[in-house]
Structure 1
Amino acid sequence: MTAKSRRQSWMTYLPTLLVDCESVRPSIRAATLAYYASCTNDPAIEKEAVRWYVAALARQRQCLSRRYAAIADHGASDSIPTDQEICTSMMLLYFELIQPTATASWIKHFSGACQLMVLRRPVNCRRGVSRLFLQSLRVLNVRHSIKFHALSPLASAEWLQSHEQVDTVGDSDEVLDILLALPAYLSGRQREMREACNSSSSVPRIVAEKARIIDLLHWLSKCESRYSSEHGREHELMINRDQCDLGSGDFCYFDVGAMLDSAMIIIAYLILSQRSIWSQDERNSIQEEQHRRSTTIVLNAHRTLKLNPDGLNPGTCLQFVFPLEVVSTYSSDELQREAAQNILDGIGWARL
C-alpha cells in the first residue's frame, strides 16, 4: 500500500455529507463541538455538543426506524445502509470517545456501525467512503475481537475475499487479517484444546495443533518481511527524527509495526500455553521474542506520552491503547504486564 493510499480518510468526505444530507448533520455537529469543547475547556460549547448529540440520536432512531420498517412488513429489497447512516454511527462513536456519557459508551455505536456494514454487504464496500469506513471498522474490530475473544463479522471469508479484490490492499491490511484471525485461537474451545494437548498423548491432535500455529507464524513472518523491506528506510528516518507514529484519529491508518508486535505477542502466548507441543528451546526462543516486543511497546508508549504532554487525539488514543492491552494481558512477564497496565491506568483508560 502506498503512503498516499494509507493516508486516505473518510473524514475528508464530511463537508460533502454535511451539506448533502440532513440526517447526518446533527452527529457531525455533535462530534465537532465536543472536540472543540475539549480543546477550549468551554462548558457552554460542551453543553451545546450534548444538545446536538441528543438530537443526533433521535434523528438516527427516526431514520433507521422509518427505513427498516419496510423490511419487516414487506421484505423490501432497498435496505442497504447508506454512507450517511454509517457515518452517523461513526460520528456518534467519536463523540463518545471525546465526551463519554458512560464508561465505554462508544462501544454501542461501534457495534451499530458494524451491523450496518454487515447489512451493506462486501460488494458495496469496495470504493470511496464506504471502503474507508470498512477500513476503520476493521481496525476497531481488532481491539474488540481480541479483547473479548469474539470473531468479527468483518473477518468472514466473504469479507476477506472482497477486501482482497481492492487495489489498495497492502501490508497494513494483511496484519489486520492476521489479528482478526487470532480470536479463533483464543476462544474457550481452543483453550480446552490447548489444555488437552498439555495432558494428552494424542499425537495426531498435537501435530495438528502445532501445524496451525506454525502456519500462523509463517503468515506473520511473511507479512513482516514485506513490511520491513518496503518501509524499513521510512521507519529508520522516523526514528532518527525522534518521532512516534501515532496513526490517525479516523482509525484508517495505524502503526503497522506496533500491530505486528502485538500479533507476535499473542502468538507467543499461544505457544507458551502449549507446553507439551513445543520443545524447551522453542519455548525459550519465543519467550525472548515476546519479551523484546513487549518491551518495545511499553517503551514506545512512554515516549509517545512524553512527546504529547497535552494528550492524544481520541481516535489515536484508542489505537495507542490496543498494543498496551495486549502486553498487559498476554505477556508472560509480570513486570511487563504491570508496566503496560500502569500506563493504561495513567491515561484513565477503563478496564473492560
Structure 2
Amino acid sequence: MIQLQSSAMQDTQLVSNMMYFYSNSARSSNGRQSWILLLPDLITQSRQQTRVAVLATSMLLLAIQSREERIFVESLGYYCQALISIRRQLPLVTDPQNPDFLPLTCVAIVLSFFEALCGTLFNGYYQHVQGAVVLLQIQGPRNCALVPYHSLFYAVRNHAICASLMTGKISPLAGEPWLTIPFSLSKKSSSDLVNDILLAMPRYLSALNADETASETSRMSREDIVQDLMNHLQNLAGIWSQISQHEHPIAESTQPTIPQSVELTQRYTYDNPYHAKVIANYRTAHLLAFSLLSIILPCHDWDVAPFLDDSASILSAAGYLEECDIGCAYFQMVFPLRLVAQHSPCATRRRVAIDMLKRWCGEKPVRGLANSALEAIYRGQCVIPQSPVYRNVYPDMSTEHSKACCERPVPKPFSYTAKGQWIKLDGMDTYITGDTKAQRAVLWVYDIFGFSSQILRGADILAHSSKEPILVIIPDWFRGSTAELSWVPPVTEEQQQKLGTFIQTKASAAIVVPHVRTFAKCVKAVYPRIQRLGIFGFCWGGKLVSLACQGDALFDVAAQTSPARVDPEEAKHVTVPMALLVSGDEDAGLVARYAENIRAETHVEMFPSQIHGWMSARGDLNRLVVWNEYQRGYQVIVQFFDKYL
C-alpha cells in the first residue's frame, strides 16, 4: 500500500491517482481538456465540502485498487461529511455568478463517481447526476459554451446520457437549446452527434408508453416517432462512414486484444480507447433505433443481422476498454452491456454481457453501476420491450427466465383436502404422503408459489396410484414465504421489484440447490428403509432438479414439468433417467436438445394444449380440458417412477 507522508501529500497522491484513472478516458480526437484537471486547484482553493467530496471518491478508488478495508471505511466517513455539507449549501446557490457554482458542479460529478464505484444509496448515482444537471440548468446553455463550464458540460452530458438510458427518463439536456447552444463555438464531433441521438431515445420510449391522459408535450404520434427514428438511422449511417475505419475485425487465429471470456464468432479491435467508446455508443444508438422501429412496425420484414452485429461490437469494445482499464469508460459501457444482456438475439452474447457485468461488479471500480444493471437484468426490468425481430429466433433464449413463467396469470386457489400429513423435517414444515415404510421416495421441488392445491393433489395422486409403496416428501423450501399470486404477471414497478427480490433471495438457485442436496441426505437418515430416491421439479423447481442432478448419484431418477431456463449444456452432466413434461409454452426443440444430452434414459411427453405450469399453481382444474391433461401428466409421472424407481 502507498505510504502517505502528510496531509498535503496525501491529498495530492489521492487526487493524482483518481485523475490518472479517469482523465485517460477523457481524451478525444479534438483534444478537449478534461474537467477533472480542475480538481487539484479546487481542493486547495474551495470550501471544505469540495475537499472532502474529492477525497472521499479518491480514497474509495484507492481502497478498491489496493483492497484495503481501512481506506474504504475512511472514505465512507468523508462521503457522509460531503453529503451533509452539500445538502446544506445547494438550496442557497441560485445565482449563476456565485463562485461556488463551479466547485459544486464538480462535486456533484465526483459524488456520482463514488456511487458508481460503490453504490451506498438507492439510485445514488442518478441522484448526483441529476444534481449536476440542475446546476447546469441554472447556468444555462450559453454559459456552457464558455470556459470553464464547457468541459464540465461535456462530463455532465455523458453521465446524463448514462442515467437517462438506465432509467428510461428523459434528460433536460435532451432539449433543443442544450443540443445546439453549448456547441456554438465548436464543431460537433462524431461522438457528439451519436450522443445527441442517445439523448433522444428515452423520449420515444416515453411517447410510446404515454396513455391518453398524458399531456400533449409528452405525446408523439407513431408516425412522427417512425420518421424521427428513420432520420436517426440515416444520420447514423453517415456517422458510420466516418468512424468505421477505427473498428477492425480480428481473425480467430489472431491473438485477440479483448479478454478470452468474450467468446464470439465476431470480434473486433480498435485504434484506441476513444474510438472504442465512440463505436460502442454508435452501436448502442443503432441497436436502440432499430429495436424501437421493430416494435412500432412488427409486421415489417426486419433483418436480425444488425442486432447481432451491434451486440458483437458492443462486447468487443467493452472487452477492449476493460483491458485498457480506464475509469469513465466503465461508466459509459454499463448500459450497452445491459442492452446486449437483455436484447441480443444470441444467447451466447447475452451470457457474455452478464458475465462481464458480474466481473466488473466484483473486481472493477464500477461496482455500484454494474450491480444496478445486474439487478435490472435479473428482475426483467427492460428499458425497451423485447423486439419481435428476434423473439424466438434463437431457441436457447429459454435459458433465461421463461417468458410464460413471468407473464402467465395464476388462477384463484381452490379447496382441496390433502390426504397426507404435516411434520417437521430438517427444521422445515414438510408435507408427506404415502407409505412412510416404503423403500422408495420422491422429493418434490415446487414452483415459486409453494404449497398450492394442485401440488398437494398431485403428490397424493403419485403416492396412492403407484404399483409399489412410495413416499412423497415436499419440504417448505421458502421457509414460510412464497411468491404472491398478485405479482404475476408483474404490471407495476413494485410488483416487479418484489418478484425480482423474491427470486434473487428466497428462490435463488445458489441458496436452494445446496439445501435440496442436504435435505435429501436428511431424508435417507430419517427414513433408513428408503433405498432409492427420486426428485420431481415444477417450473422453477425443474431448473433446480437439473442442477441438483449434476455429477454424483444422490438421486436415482428425476422428472421436470414445465421446465424453466432449459440449458442443453447443463444436461451433459445429468446421469440419471429424466422425464420431461412439456407444455405448449415451452420451446420443444430446446427441450429435445436438452434430452439428447442427458447420459441416461429419457422420456419426453408433450402437452401442446396446456400452458406453462398446468400441473402446479397455474393449472385451472375447474376447466375440464386442463383437468384431463393434469391427470394425464401425473399418470405419466406415476408410470415413469414405477419404471425407474
Considering the TM-score relative to the shorter chain, is it more than 0.5? yes
Write the letter of the residue equivalent to 1:227.
Answer: I
- SS state at 1:273 partner: helix
1:227 aligned onto 2:243: yes
Structure with the largest fraction of helix? 1
After superposition, residues 111-130 of structure 1 pair within 5 angstroms as 111-130=130-149
Shift of 1:7: 5.2
Q: 1:331 aligns with which of 344, 358, 377?
A: 344
Residue equivalent to 1:200: none
In the superposition, relative to structure 1, how do residues 324 and 45 fare at CA in structure 2: closer, same or farther (>3 Å)? same
In the superposition, relative to structure 1, how do residues 30 and 221 fare at CA in structure 2: closer, same or farther (>3 Å)? same
Write the letter of the residue equivalent to 2:310.
Answer: R
CA RMSD of the aligned region, Å? 3.3
Shift of 1:66: 3.8
After superposition, residues 5-16 of structure 1 pair within 5 angstroms as 5-6=30-31, 8-16=33-41
- Relative contact order (C-alpha < 8 Å, sep 6+): which is higher? 1
Q: 1:60 aligns with which of 83, 86, 97?
A: 86
TM-score w.r.t. length of structure 1:
0.77
How far apart in 2 are the matches of 1:133 and 1:181?
21
Shift of 1:261: 0.7
Where does the alignment leave 5 or more consecutive residues of structure 1 unmatched?
Answer: 69-75, 194-204
In the superposition, relative to structure 1, how do residues 265 and 18 fare at CA in structure 2: closer, same or farther (>3 Å)? same
How far apart in 1 are the matches of 2:235 and 2:29?
25
After superposition, residues 82-231 of structure 1 pair within 5 angstroms as 82-187=101-206, 189-191=207-209, 210-228=226-244
Residue equivalent to 2:60: 34
1:21 aligned onto 2:46: yes
Q: 1:315 aligns with which of 322, 325, 328?
A: 328
Q: Which structure has the larger Rg?
A: 2
Shift of 1:191: 4.9
Contact 1:5–1:168 (8 Å) recurs in 2: no
1:271 aligned onto 2:293: yes
- SS state at 1:100 partner: coil
Shift of 1:29: 1.6
Shift of 1:277: 6.2
Contact 1:89–1:109 (8 Å) recurs in 2: yes
Q: 1:298 aligns with which of 311, 315, 336?
A: 315
In the superposition, relative to structure 1, how do residues 44 and 344 fare at CA in structure 2: closer, same or farther (>3 Å)? closer
Write the letter of the residue equivalent to 1:190.
Answer: L
Contact 2:53–2:79 (8 Å) recurs in 1: yes
Where does the alignment leave 5 or more consecutive residues of structure 2 unmatched?
Answer: 1-26, 212-220, 258-268, 362-369, 377-645
- SS state at 1:128 partner: coil
Residue equivalent to 1:198: none
How far apart in 2 are the matches of 1:261 and 1:30?
34
Shift of 1:36: 1.9
How far apart in 2 are the matches of 1:236 and 1:336?
19
TM-score w.r.t. length of structure 2:
0.44
How far apart in 1 are the matches of 2:326 and 2:232?
33
- SS state at 1:154 partner: helix
Shift of 1:35: 1.7
Aligned residues: 315
Cα shift readout 1:298-346 (whole Å, capped 9, x = no counterpart): 24434555x36xxx45533222212112222333445543442343234
In the superposition, relative to structure 1, how do residues 247 and 102 fare at CA in structure 2: closer, same or farther (>3 Å)? farther
How far apart in 2 are the matches of 1:208 and 1:31?
44
Shift of 1:21: 0.9
Write the letter of the residue equivalent to 1:343.
Answer: M
In the superposition, relative to structure 1, how do residues 294 and 319 fare at CA in structure 2: closer, same or farther (>3 Å)? same
In the superposition, relative to structure 1, how do residues 97 and 322 fare at CA in structure 2: closer, same or farther (>3 Å)? same
How far apart in 2 are the matches of 1:298 and 1:236?
14
Shift of 1:20: 1.6
- SS state at 1:218 partner: helix
Shift of 1:237: 12
In the superposition, relative to structure 1, how do residues 65 and 163 fare at CA in structure 2: closer, same or farther (>3 Å)? closer
1:256 aligned onto 2:278: yes
How far apart in 1 are the matches of 2:197 and 2:47?
39
Write the letter of the residue equivalent to 1:13.
Answer: L
Shift of 1:174: 0.8
Shift of 1:47: 2.5
Contact 2:311–2:349 (8 Å) recurs in 1: yes
How far apart in 2 are the matches of 1:276 and 1:51?
53
In the superposition, relative to structure 1, how do residues 44 and 261 fare at CA in structure 2: closer, same or farther (>3 Å)? same
Contact 1:97–1:315 (8 Å) recurs in 2: no
How far apart in 1 are the matches of 2:85 and 2:335?
32
1:343 aligned onto 2:356: yes
- SS state at 2:296 partner: coil
Q: Percent identity of the aligned residues?
A: 23
- SS state at 1:101 partner: coil
Residue equivalent to 2:18: none
Write the letter of the residue equivalent to 1:26.
Answer: V
